[in-house]
């Protein structure tokens, strides 16, 4: 009587073992294929860089002079015919090739850039666009016709984009010349600067440090003088953080201000409710961003953007820019403010606007904000310290929306391919544990280091349905989103070493 149950148990164990073995074998085969695909893509990238290094071994004295000019000066000299589009584009290619040897910011130089510049030079002055001959660098995840946009993922290699991104299409119509693509962290869900395909980008101001992310290559290349203006993207700081790390200027516009159509999805975040990614300007100076934005958002340019339903067709308003030079009411703060901390600190008489006890800013950050506030005050603006409402709750909700699926969509994209633990190791390791384990880990980290950091271990635990997340978003969006009476704010981002 015991023979049949024992036989069944043996068969069940055997089938389970066979299933496990086959599954492991398939996963190993998939991993080997992904590694081969990555190596082939790396070789293709090396060949591209090598071709341009051969063509442009070192910038000439004239090319260095041209590459040293800022956007407004370049634009004016191109308009007057003092420089040709070919001279400017080749100068920046040569400078980018030189800079890239140290910082590894460029993933690909575009073969058609010089021929496009020659075509622009052949146009009559009357038919030239407002961005005639201006070289532009692009973050690698922005679509270019016929090229892949990998975001550092093996699954995206050799998957050609069907057409240019709407951003690129309009830039070309305005006379700009995209000349290279720049590096980013794997999935873009990181403030780091590396991925398994193109490697790690370094900060030109200190090669032992990173340039920040996720628009890493853009910031590094502009800071090194290899580009004058470029475009990154920003969901949670991806143009602002690398600009701060690298010493350049960036602007994250309001979502919908620039066309989004034609981007590889950051970390697989498709259709996420409440989080709005946006293309962002990056340049050497605020004047460069203003010159670029003014032409890109001119009424005639805005009317060309027809492929993106999310785009708000609002043209540049010169009267609003001029109004900004009048007296403004500007609030400043330095750190994430925790409501409970504020109440206790105020009762104890120890409250400070530049230290919340959780994520203290560095002395340099505090000094920079206070110096900016003093300069604005000297120019006649009303400047005051203030407490932003519920930033801790908003920060927590942001995290909930970001990992509402338990980081599942991103993990699916990483499945079978090489993973970059420098950029994503913390997230991968944390969300590989069951929720119960992460609760204990989060409590420990919260007690030893920071409550906010501890909460990040279980952001997917509090709200398990779309309805709950929508309700939280509506609650905090309406309660705190428009509660600030100032029209401008000064703050800094946290610098991670």
Active site residues: 139, 214, 238
Q: How far apart are CA 33 and CA 54, in angstroms?
A: 32
Separation of alpha carbons 127 and 114, rounded Å: 19
Q: Six-digit token pair at 292?
A: 């670029």
Look at residues 221, 197, 114, 105 and name the one whose alpha carbon lies nearest to residue 148: 197
Which residue from 70, 67, 305 is spatially nearest to 179, judged by alpha carbons? 67
Residue (of 390, 388, 385) closest to 340 by Cα position: 390
Do 218 and 137 form a contact (C-beta atoms < 8 A)?
yes
Tokens 């070493």 — which residue? 497
Q: Give the span between the Cα atoms of 295 and 299, in whole angstroms.
A: 9
φ and ψ at 349, to 5 degrees?
75, 25
CA distance 96 to 93: 5
Q: Give dist(CA 74, CA 64) in Å, integer.
A: 13
Start-to-end C-alpha separation, the chain = 68
- Tell me the C-alpha distance between 183 and 158, whole Å: 17
CA 159 to chain centre: 22
Contact 406, 463 (CB under 8 A): no
User: Cα(179)–Cα(202) distance, rounded to whole angstroms?
Assistant: 20
- Kindly state the greatest CA–CA separation across the chain: 99
CA distance 151 to 216: 12
Neighbours of 128 (CB within 10 A): 18
Q: Judging by DSSP bridges, how do beta strands 229-234 and 488-490 pair with one another?
A: unpaired
Beta-bridge partners for 489? 331
Write the secondary structure of 209-265 as one string of H (helix), E (strand) and C (coil).
CCCCCCCHHHHHHHHCCCCCEEEEEECCCCCHHHHHHHCCEEECCCCCCCCCCCECC
| Pairing of β 199-200 and β 278-283 | unpaired
Distance of CA 238 to the CA centre of its chain: 3
């Amino acid at each position: 009587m015991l023979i049949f149950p024992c036989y069944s148990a043996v068969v069940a164990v055997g089938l389970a073992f066979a299933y496990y073995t086959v599954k492991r074998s398939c996963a190993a085969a998939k991993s080997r294929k992904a590694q081969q695909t990555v190596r082939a893509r790396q070789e293709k990238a090396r060949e591209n860089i090598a071709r341009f290094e051969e063509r442009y071994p070192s910038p000439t004295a004239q090319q260095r002079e041209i590459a040293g000019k800022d956007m407004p000066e370049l634009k004016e000299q191109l308009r007057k015919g003092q420089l040709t589009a070919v001279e400017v584009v080749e100068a920046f290619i040569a400078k980018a090739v030189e800079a890239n040897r140290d910082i590894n910011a460029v993933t690909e130089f575009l073969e058609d850039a010089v021929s496009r510049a020659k075509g622009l030079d052949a146009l009559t002055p009357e038919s030239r666009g407002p961005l005639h001959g201006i070289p532009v660098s692009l973050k690698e995840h922005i679509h270019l016709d016929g090229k892949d946009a990998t975001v550092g993922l093996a699954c995206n290699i050799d998957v050609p984009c069907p057409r240019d991104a709407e951003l690129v299409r309009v830039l070309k119509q305005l006379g700009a010349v995209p000349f290279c693509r720049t590096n980013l962290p794997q999935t873009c869900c990181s403030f780091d600067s590396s991925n398994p395909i193109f490697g790690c980008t370094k900060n030109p101001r200190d090669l032992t440090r990173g340039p920040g992310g996720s628009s890493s290559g853009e910031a590094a290349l502009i800071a090194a003088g290899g580009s004058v203006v470029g475009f990154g993207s920003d969901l949670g700081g991806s143009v602002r953080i690398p600009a701060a790390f690298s010493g350049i200027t960036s602007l994250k516009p309001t979502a919908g201000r620039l066309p989004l159509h034609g981007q590889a999805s950051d970390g697989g975040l498709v259709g996420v409710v409440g989080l709005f990614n946006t293309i962002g300007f990056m340049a050497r100076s605020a004047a460069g961003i203003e010159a670029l934005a003014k032409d890109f958002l001119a009424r005639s340019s805005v009317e060309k953007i027809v492929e993106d339903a999310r785009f708000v067709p609002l043209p540049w308003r010169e009267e609003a820019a001029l109004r900004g030079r009048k007296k403004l009411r500007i609030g400043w703060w330095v750190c994430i403010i925790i409501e409970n901390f504020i109440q206790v600190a105020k009762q104890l008489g120890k409250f400070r606007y530049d230290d919340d006890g959780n994520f203290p800013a560095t002395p340099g950050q505090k000094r920079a904000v206070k110096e900016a506030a003093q300069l604005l005050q000297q120019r006649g603006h009303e400047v005051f310290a203030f407490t932003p409402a519920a930033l801790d709750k908003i920060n927590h909700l942001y995290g909930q929306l970001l990992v509402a699926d338990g980081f599942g969509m991103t993990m699916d994209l990483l499945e079978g391919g090489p993973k970059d633990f420098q950029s994503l190791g913390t997230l991968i390791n944390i969300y590989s544990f069951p929720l119960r384990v992460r609760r204990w880990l989060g409590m420990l980290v919260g007690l030893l280091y920071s409550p906010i950091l501890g909460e990040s271990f279980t952001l997917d635990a509090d709200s398990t349905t779309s309805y709950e997340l929508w309700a939280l978003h509506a609650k905090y969006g309406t309660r705190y989103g428009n509660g600030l009476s100032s029209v401008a704010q000064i703050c800094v981002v946290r610098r991670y070493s």
